[in-house]
Chains A and B, each alone.
Chain A
């Protein structure tokens, strides 16, 4: 395959950045998207040029690091995958491919395609946990009965890998699908009830302080989420938030 790549290059957080064109030949349709970028980077290194910085870790759709906006879509044209699961067969010979970092005020660009998503970590730290005594007195998990439906729904929410595709694809850069999933995975389980009100209040407060936008229910986040996290989680978070406020 012959490709024209239009890639966002930005030296550091202070640089204005710009789109730079690259030509690539002999790309196999069986390559993964990240392997294609590896080929390009090797060519740049061979020419003594700065390779393109991009995040990647597991390369099997679990870590959520490979965050790129490809041809106007988070993680590229296919549904429910991360970039490492995207293959060049999804493109055609002669295609022009735009590759950009996530765009959100709360996700500042560090370099090229790498963004700082520590805003998600701070939201998680604000309440995305349960307080358990783990000093050897932990009871057997099976002592707490949980319905199959609740366990499955909580697990669905917990599959969120915090990649940030929801923020990137939302026209408002809203993080509500991520926060909704994190609130839901605990709200659905008995272990999460004790701190439920504080959790949702603190996580929403932190989300707002980070500068994410307001959800307007376009549903783009749900479509682009590589793990298929449902909008139900945002509705559940809204209910939890209202409940917590009513309790005072």
Chain B
């Protein structure tokens, strides 16, 4: 097993495994975010749990960060190696006749998602880390000295989506995420060797997942922007 990840197929496995992990995380993330549309209280409770639970914070969060970083670094490594495998380019090339734009531009959509993640981390994660681990306020309250002030998470979320520019950036990024997933979802299964009688159904489910998850994220951003 030792040398598997040094091989081309091993790198595909690694890329696919990190992709599966991130796709499962997206389901969890969008489910929690969606509660903000219909229940302020539920969203606040879930956010507080996720933000203060030692297992989530101490184990799952570092694994998630590792998964994201690993997926991006491995993506860049693969792209670099693949570019090196063709030193002279074709004078005329018509790849649209044999493959989709999404499949050929995973790095481009990935880089846009990476840029979005930087903004997303700045918006939420850095703020959370500062409040909880630098200021030492684990209460999750709007006013840590007033127990009746209520949780701060819902209001902070709403505040972020006031800016039309930020909502536009979020929307564009999630469109790119949808395109990334439209190829990535089934590609991950193929990399792990799953190509059989269920593949057609899986492709259908992949389309629903790839468009559905980013669409709900976009809906949440637009909902809070227009109802603020």
Contacts and interface: CB of A to CB of B under 8 A. Distances in A.
B81 A214 contact: yes
A216 B192 contact: no
Nearest to A238: B193
Given A71-B94, A235-B190, A217 B88 contact: no
Contact of A237 (B9, B92, B186): B9
B4 to A, nearest CB: 5
Nearest to A205: B7
Interface residues of A, number: 50
Interface of A is mostly: mixed
A103 B104 contact: no
Interface size class of B (residues with CB under 8 A): 35 or more
A98 B92 CA distance: 7
Nearest to B192: A238
Interface in B99-135: 99-100, 103-104, 106
Given A72-B90, A246-B1, A211 B85 contact: yes
Contacts of B97: 72-73, 77, 223
A231 interface: yes
A208 to B, nearest CB: 5
Given A98-B92, A204-B8, A219 B82 contact: no
Given A172-B82, A217-B103, A238-B193, A245 B1 contact: yes
B58 interface: no
B138 interface: no
Contacts of A238: 9, 12-13, 190-193
Contacts of A172: 82, 85-86
Nearest to B88: A103
Contacts of B191: 215, 217, 238
Given A204-B9, A207-B8, A246-B1, A105 B86 contact: yes
B11 interface: yes
Count chain A CB atoms within 10 A of each CB in B89, B106, B186, B191 and give the residue with the most. B191
Contact of B92 (A100, A106, A205): A100
B82 A216 contact: yes
A123 interface: no
Contacts of B194: 235
A73 B94 contact: yes
B183 interface: yes
Interface string B62-102: 00000000000000001001101111111111110111100
A61 B187 CA distance: 31
In the A-B complex, list the 6 residue pairs whose CB atoms are closest, starting with the nearest: A72-B94, A235-B195, A239-B193, A213-B85, A172-B82, A223-B98
Interface of A: 6, 8, 17, 19, 69, 71-73, 77, 98, 100, 103-106, 169, 171-174, 176, 204-205, 207-208, 211-220, 223-224, 231-232, 234-239, 241-242, 245-246, 248
Given A173-B85, A208-B8, 15 more contacts: A73-B97, A103-B88, A104-B85, A172-B86, A174-B82, A204-B8, A214-B11, A214-B12, A214-B78, A214-B82, A220-B99, A223-B97, A234-B190, A235-B194, A238-B193
8 contacts: A103-B90, A171-B95, A173-B82, A208-B8, A238-B190, A239-B193, A242-B9, A242-B193
Interface of B: 1, 4, 7-13, 78, 81-82, 84-95, 97-100, 103-104, 106, 183, 186-187, 190-196
